[in-house]
Chains A and B, each alone.
Chain A
Amino acid sequence: MIHKILIANRGEIAVRIIRACRELGIQSVAVYSEADKDALHAQLADEAVCIGPAASKDSYLNMENIISATINTGAEAIHPGFGFLSENQKFAKLCEECNITFIGPSSEIIRKMGNKTEARNTMIEAGVTVIPGWNQDVESVEEGKEIAAKLGYPVIVKAALGGGGKGMRVAMNEEEFENAYLTARKEAGAAFGDDSVYMEHFIEHPRHVEVQILADSYGNVVHLGERDCSIQRNHQKFIEEAPCKAISEELRKRMGEEAVKAAKAVGYENAGTIEFLLENEKDFYFMEMNTRIQVEHPVTEWITGVDLIKEQIKIASGEKLDFTQEEVKLEGHSIECRINAENPEKNFRPSPGKIENLYLPGGKGIRMDTAIYSGYEIPPYYDSMIAKLIVHGTTREEALRKMRSALGEVIIEGIDTNVDYLYEMISDMAEQEILGGES
Chain B
Amino acid sequence: MKLGARFKKEDGRLEKAARETQSAEVPEGLFKKCNMCKAPVYVEEVKENLYICPKCHGYFRMSAYKRIASVVEPGTFERWDEGLKTSNPLNYKGYEDKITALQEKTGLDEAVVTGTGLIGANKVVLAVCDGRFMMASMGHVVGEKITRAVERATEEKLPVIIFACSGGARMQEGIVSLMQMAKTSAALKRHSDAGNLYISVLTDPTTGGVTASFAMLGDIILAEPNALIGFAGPRVIEQTIGQKLPKGFQRAEFLLDHGFVDAIVKREEMHDTLKSILDMHRVDAIDLEEQTVRCEVKDTGMSAWDKVLISRKKDRPVGMDYIDNCFTDFIEFHGDRYFSDDHCIVGGIAYFKGMPVTVIAQCKGKTTKENVFRNFGMPSPDGYRKALRLMKQAEKFNRPVICFVDTPGAFCGLEAEERGQGEAIARNLYEMSGLKVPVFSLIIGEGGSGGALAMAVSDEVWMLENSVYSILSPEGYASILWKDSSLAKDAARVMKMTAKDLYEMKVVDGIIKEPEKFNDDSFYKVATQVKIAIEGFLYRQGKKSKEELLEARYERFRKF
Contacts and interface: CB of A to CB of B under 8 A. Distances in A.
B7 interface: yes
Interface stretch (A95-103, A256-264, A320-328): A95-103
Contacts of A329: none
Majority DSSP secondary structure for residues of B touching A: loop
B1 A374 contact: yes
A90 interface: yes
Given A64-B31, A93-B44, A375-B1, A99 B24 contact: yes
Nearest to A63: B42
Nearest to A67: B26
Interface in B91-148: none
B42 A90 contact: yes
26 contacts: A3-B15, A3-B21, A21-B10, A24-B16, A25-B12, A28-B10, A43-B2, A46-B9, A48-B4, A64-B40, A64-B41, A67-B24, A71-B25, A71-B26, A74-B24, A76-B22, A76-B24, A90-B42, A90-B44, A90-B45, A94-B44, A97-B27, A99-B22, A99-B23, A373-B1, A375-B1
B241 interface: no
A64 B16 contact: no
A211 B183 CA distance: 70
Contact of B42 (A64, A99, A317, A376): A64
B283 interface: no
A48 B18 CA distance: 23
Given A43-B3, A373-B3, A25 B15 contact: yes
A306 interface: no
Interface string A368-384: 00000111100000000
Contacts of B3: 40, 43-44, 373
Contacts of B558: none
B30 interface: yes
B19 A27 contact: no
A76 to B, nearest CB: 4
A235 interface: no
Interface string B16-50: 10110111111100110000000111101100000
Contacts of B1: 38, 373-376
B134 to A, nearest CB: 32
Nearest to A76: B22
B414 interface: no
Interface in B398-422: none
Contacts of B2: 38, 43
A93 B12 CA distance: 30
Interface string A387-410: 000000000000000000000000
Nearest to B18: A3
B16 A1 contact: yes
A311 to B, nearest CB: 16
B14 interface: yes
B23 A98 contact: no
A38 B18 CA distance: 33
Contacts of A375: 1
B7 A43 contact: yes
A42 interface: yes
Contact of A1 (B19, B31, B39, B41): B19
Contacts of B22: 2, 76, 99, 101
A98 B10 contact: no
B18 A64 contact: no
Contacts of A2: 22
Contacts of B9: 46
Given A3-B15, A25-B10, A26-B10, A64 B25 contact: no
Nearest to B39: A64
A94 B4 CA distance: 31
B10 A46 contact: yes
Interface string A55-85: 0000000011001101100111000000000
A22 interface: yes
A76 B13 CA distance: 19
A376 B1 CA distance: 7
Interface of B: 1-4, 7, 9-10, 12-16, 18-19, 21-27, 30-31, 39-42, 44-45
Nearest to B4: A43
Contacts of B18: 1, 3
A375 B21 CA distance: 39
A70 B23 CA distance: 10
B10 A94 contact: no
B21 A42 contact: no
A5 to B, nearest CB: 11
Contact of A27 (B4, B10, B30): B10
A74 B16 CA distance: 18
A107 to B, nearest CB: 10
A110 to B, nearest CB: 14
A319 B470 CA distance: 90
Shortest Cβ-Cβ A-B pairs, 5 listed: A43-B4, A25-B15, A375-B1, A25-B14, A100-B24
Contacts of B44: 90, 93-94
Contacts of B16: 1, 24-25
Contacts of A28: 10
Nearest to B26: A98
Given A46-B10, A90-B44, 15 more contacts: A3-B18, A21-B10, A25-B15, A64-B39, A64-B40, A68-B40, A71-B25, A74-B24, A75-B24, A76-B21, A76-B22, A94-B44, A97-B30, A373-B1, A376-B1
B24 A70 contact: yes
A97 B18 CA distance: 24
A2 B27 CA distance: 21
Given A1-B16, A25-B16, A71 B40 contact: no
Contacts of B7: 43-44
Contacts of B40: 64, 68
A22 B42 CA distance: 32
A1 B15 CA distance: 9
A282 to B, nearest CB: 43
A2 B18 CA distance: 8
Contact of B12 (A27, A63, A70, A374): A27
Interface in A260-316: none
A317 B16 CA distance: 13
Contacts of B12: 25, 27
Contacts of A71: 24-26
B48 to A, nearest CB: 8
A1 to B, nearest CB: 5
Contacts of B24: 67, 70-71, 74-76, 98-100
A74 B26 CA distance: 13
Contacts of A90: 42, 44-45
Nearest to A91: B42
A25 B18 CA distance: 10
A99 B25 contact: yes
Contacts of B19: 1, 317
Which residue, B19, B21, B26, has most C-beta atoms of chain A within 10 A? B26
A94 B42 contact: yes
A70 B22 CA distance: 12
A38 B2 CA distance: 7
A98 B27 contact: yes
Nearest to B48: A90
B12 to A, nearest CB: 7
Nearest to A4: B21
Nearest to B17: A1
